[in-house]
Amino acid sequence: MSANSAVLTSNVAALRAKSTKRSAQQAAKQKILPPAARKALFFFCIVLCATPYLSAPVALLGGFLFTFLLGHPFPKLSGKATGMLLKASVVGLGFGMNIHSALQVGREGLWLTIASISTVLVLGYVIGRWFHMRRKMSHLVASGTAICGGSAIAAVAPAVKANEKETSVSLGVVFLLNSVALLLFPLLGHWLGLTQHQFGLWSAIAIHDTSSVVGASSAYGSEALNVATTVKLARALWIIPVSLLSALLFRSSGKKVSIPWFIGFFIVAMLLNSYLPFVGMFNTQLVTVSKAALVVTLFLIGSSLSVEKIRAVGFKPLLLGVLLWAVVSVGSLLAILYLG
């Protein structure tokens, strides 16, 4: 008993020391700027994120750096705002999708789409268990790799009730690999001698986010850009079934499946844009606002991240993302080259 008591006392002392150190660090950050100035600067950053001048990865990194350097002025408020903004952003993105165009393109490469998405999700689960990762985090990284990067993670995260650390780390992995793909893929395409059509199809399947797909394919050629954007649009439709499946897989034991309400509104927005002509008069504005809201959301998510949280997660999410990305890139390339 005395040995156990000594261990317990030691653990309590260690926790107190960490708490004291954390409090001292927070106090030091608060001395840099007074509370009112920090709050004003935080709101200014939010407004800046809502403009076209900041991209999603920069917003995520900016939120992290703000908290790291100055401390978080609204820790509880941002947690509540993040969830609502994330869901509203996903709904608004539905106004940018036309179901007729997406289904027409989707039928052409349906087998490749189903095979790649299923393979990535299963591999994400298997490798995640092998790495002893949190199940939700490995599923988010796999979902972002399988479908359309940050947008897929934004849709799946609320469906599985992922916390901000799981969401922010998964987004960070996807954005990092996106940046690499934007520079690497055009070089690989020319080195491999891919046609415009082949490269457009490959980039749409193997690159996560639509923005990076557009950037890489436009650098390759106009035909590659047209193929890539239409295929990526069709692939984005898989957000719906994957989100619903995720809600089913991650439901609490003994409870009924709770269908995420925002996925229902996402479908409604997509149908309105497809069947009501007058919606086309303002769908561009709705999508623009939704993308701006998503960038603001990523700033808030980044601001909830800390060095301690990143250290606790480790390098495993990044390694998982790289492995899944390699499987998708190599597998889809071989299928395009040898199976047509």
Domain residue ranges of the chain, discontinuous segments joined by +: 95-292+308-338
Lowest-confidence segment of 61-75, 92-106, 261-275 by average pLDDT: 92-106
Closest to 33 (Cα-Cα) out of 5, 72, 1: 72
pLDDT > 60? residue 166: yes
Sheet strands (E) in 39-99: none
The closest of 225, 216, 211 to 174, measured between CA atoms, is: 211
pLDDT of residue 99: 76
For 87-100, the pLDDT digits (tens) are: 788 788 788 877 77
pLDDT band for position 13 (50/70/90)?
A: very low
Position 19 pLDDT exceeds 80 = no
12-26, 267-281, 308-322, range with greatest mean pLDDT = 267-281
Q: Which of 159, 158, 203 is nearest to 178 (CA)?
A: 203
DSSP string spanning 136-203? HHHHHHHHHHHTTTHHHHHHHHHHTT--HHHHHHHHHHHHHHHHHHHHHHHHHHHHHT--HHHHHHHH
Return mean pLDDT, the chain: 80
d(CA 59, CA 14): 35
Q: How deeply is 277 buried, as exposed, middle or buried, from its count of CB atoms within 10 A (0-12, 13-18, 19+)?
A: exposed
pTM exceeds 0.95 for this model: no
Pair 227, 195: CB distance under 8 Å: no
The per-residue pLDDT for 127 is 93
Token pair listed for 295? 């960038």
pLDDT at residue number 100 = 76
In the prediction, which pLDDT does 7 show?
A: 43
3-state secondary structure of 108: helix
What pLDDT, in 10s, does the model give residues 22-65? 555 555 555 567 888 898 999 999 999 999 888 777 888 888 89
**Whether residue 109 has pLDDT greater than 90:** no
Most confident listed range (13-27, 77-91, 148-162): 148-162
